[in-house]
Structure 1
Amino acid sequence: MDPTELRDRMYGPEDLATRDMFAGGFINFGYWASIPLDGPLSVEQRITSQRRLYEVALDALGVSPATRLLEVGCGRGLGTALAAGAYRARSAHGVDIHPDQVARARRANAEAIRAGRGRLDYRQGAANDLPFPDGSFERVLSVEAAQHFDDVPGFAREAFRVLSPGGRLLVTTFFATGESYAGELASLLETMRMGIDHATSVGSMARALTAAGFSEVSTRSIGEHVWPGWDRWLAQTEGANHWTRNWLTAYRLGLLDYYVVVAQRAA
């Protein structure tokens, strides 16, 4: 099956968020710092890890009541709603390429949408064709979605376009640590073998952002706070021999890591 069709099925009728590994609906691997990993993990701890990944990103972005925020690849929209709620962003818009996810985001956050009176919104759109005018946002965010982007340079150009001067972009997800690891990662990880995830290198993402016009592009590993907890949760929910356990193996082999990538649009 074509990788795009596989992603459409995964985020459409199969609804990845209903699987135990993504309990809570945020659909990310989680940030597990301060969560004990030496015993059984609760669903509440799993949800906390996913929310905490968003908090790490939103804190690094400097989201405030003056911020107009766009999240690219918003999924069920829980992170976008967090920005509008707990972080009191002036507005928070979520975009996702999958219409089923947009519908779920609107249902899951219906009360917050009504209460926000236009501050919280979800719509369908592609990362390389964002449905907003130039300079619409002070901050653009993407949490664990960029591994799916078929056109990383196109995403970089669109993120630059919709940011106002002085705006900031943050992307956090897993990236290959080098340019030539696609084959090794495909042998370890089924989603990469099938083309659902791309073995995009962190260096190629940084270069695409620079080429799009961003300045002060930085990359920071947070893998030590992601991979051990993610693997521990997978062992508990998916079983010791499931293919997903190879994420930690790939990390330990130095083939991939989890990064926070920040880029600035000059004022």
Structure 2
Amino acid sequence: MSVKQKSAFQDLVDFAKWHVWTRVRPSSRARLAYELFADDHEATTEGAYINLGYWKPGCASLEEANQELADQLAEAAGISEGDEVLDVGFGLGAQDFRWLETRKPARIVGIDLTPSHVRIASERAESENVQDRLQFKEGSATDLPFGAETFDRVTSLESALHYEPRTDFFKGAFEVLKPGGVLAIGDIIPLDLREPGSDGPPKLAPQRSGSLSGGMPVENWVPRETYAKQLSEAGFVDVEVKSVRDNVMDPWLDYWLRKLQDDSFRKSVSRLFYSQVKRSLTSDSGMKGELPALDFVIASARKPGA
């Protein structure tokens, strides 16, 4: 098959992938997206993170921003030496390898629905000879397969928006945490669009079909105050839901708009994938249109007890 024929064939394959993705139920889109577009992963993530990142002033690298986001979540969770940690929806597990090095917990167990994530993270753990302290398993965030009071910390980095529903994850995390244990989540939720100081109920934009809000079950379309209330209703105390969107959303979009102008990126992915990414990031019907209605939060909550 010639190079031109291969390119045309790949475009047909990618078109089929996109066709499937846009027609499945929202709660299934995240898993399909990660599986279907695995071939384009390295070109679109700059490393092993699959996140928006936390962009400090002067940060120009997506990898650096993602490391900072992982550090922010570890700090919110209070991960420390000797802890038993459960990381839910771990992606490719990049944050877990970082935490193992920088925070030195006794063990991190990751659980994720996507088989390729489990395989890739497990292979890396074996290659780095840390499989005794980093273990990755396939499973559901809303039906955690662990006993009560097993972990000191439970984390979820930019994946809880997809859980169906997220409140079941809150309940499960509370169950598997030891007394005094902490749940910490980096999450995407709708922004309360009320003017500062306004009374009345939150004002939320309608949920869209884009790649972020479109992958969010309708039950999860709640603002910060409801999010905090749901954590309290699950039994948690010391609940904090802090917005960090100014360090996440716009800097991430600016980064990608610059990357779209990079000819090497365009050549590294299929034509359909490039056109879909460009359309999403530059049109009001895509990411450009949905980001103004979205918030990025770091939430933390403690299970009462010792």
What is the TM-score normalised by the length of structure 2?
Answer: 0.75
- Number of aligned residue pairs: 254
Cα deviation, residue 164, structure 1: 0.1
Matches within 5 A, 1:140-159: 140-159=154-173
Cα deviation, residue 6, structure 1: 3.0
Question: What does the per-residue CA deviation read over 1:68-121, in whole Å, with 9 as the maximum and x for residues that have no partner?
Answer: 111110011111121222211111111101112111111233233x3x352111
| The 10-residue stretch of structure 1 (233-242 or 19-28) with the greater mean CA deviation from structure 2 | 233-242
Q: Which residue of 2 aligns with 1:70?
A: 86
* Equivalent pair of 2:162/2:215 in contact (CA under 8 Å): no
Cα distance between partner residues in 1 of 2:233 and 2:81 = 31
The alignment's C-alpha RMSD in Å is 2.5
* Equivalent pair of 2:164/2:217 in contact (CA under 8 Å): no
Cα distance between partner residues in 2 of 1:73 and 1:65 = 22
Q: Which residue of 2 aligns with 1:128?
A: 142
Cα deviation, residue 60, structure 1: 2.1
Aligned to 1:181, which of 200, 204, 207? 204
Q: 1:250 to 1:17 in 2, by over 3 A?
A: same
Q: Which residue of 2 aligns with 1:192?
A: 213
Aligned to 1:162, which of 176, 180, 189? 176
Q: Is it true that 1:244 corresponds to 2:281 in the alignment?
A: yes
Cα deviation, residue 208, structure 1: 2.0
Equivalent residue of 1:260, what SS? strand
Q: Which residue of 1 aligns with 2:296?
A: 258
* Equivalent pair of 2:280/2:288 in contact (CA under 8 Å): no
Cα distance between partner residues in 2 of 1:180 and 1:190 = 22
* Equivalent pair of 1:105/1:122 in contact (CA under 8 Å): yes
Cα distance between partner residues in 2 of 1:158 and 1:16 = 33
Q: 1:194 to 1:88 in 2, by over 3 A?
A: closer
Q: Is it true that 1:22 corresponds to 2:29 in the alignment?
A: no
Q: Which residue of 2 aligns with 1:95?
A: 111
Cα distance between partner residues in 2 of 1:10 and 1:229 = 23
Q: Which residue of 1 aligns with 2:70?
A: 54
* Equivalent pair of 2:153/2:177 in contact (CA under 8 Å): yes
Long gaps (5+) in structure 2: 1-22, 193-201, 262-276
For 2:295, the aligned partner's letter is D
Q: Which residue of 2 aligns with 1:10?
A: 33
Long gaps (5+) in structure 1: none
Cα deviation, residue 5, structure 1: 4.3
Cα distance between partner residues in 2 of 1:16 and 1:200 = 33
Cα distance between partner residues in 1 of 2:176 and 2:39 = 29
Cα deviation, residue 9, structure 1: 2.1
For 1:237, the aligned partner's letter is K
Identity of aligned residues (%): 23
Question: What does the per-residue CA deviation read over 1:192-223, in whole Å, with 9 as the maximum and x for residues that have no partner?
Answer: 34658953433332222111111111111111
For 1:261, the aligned partner's letter is A
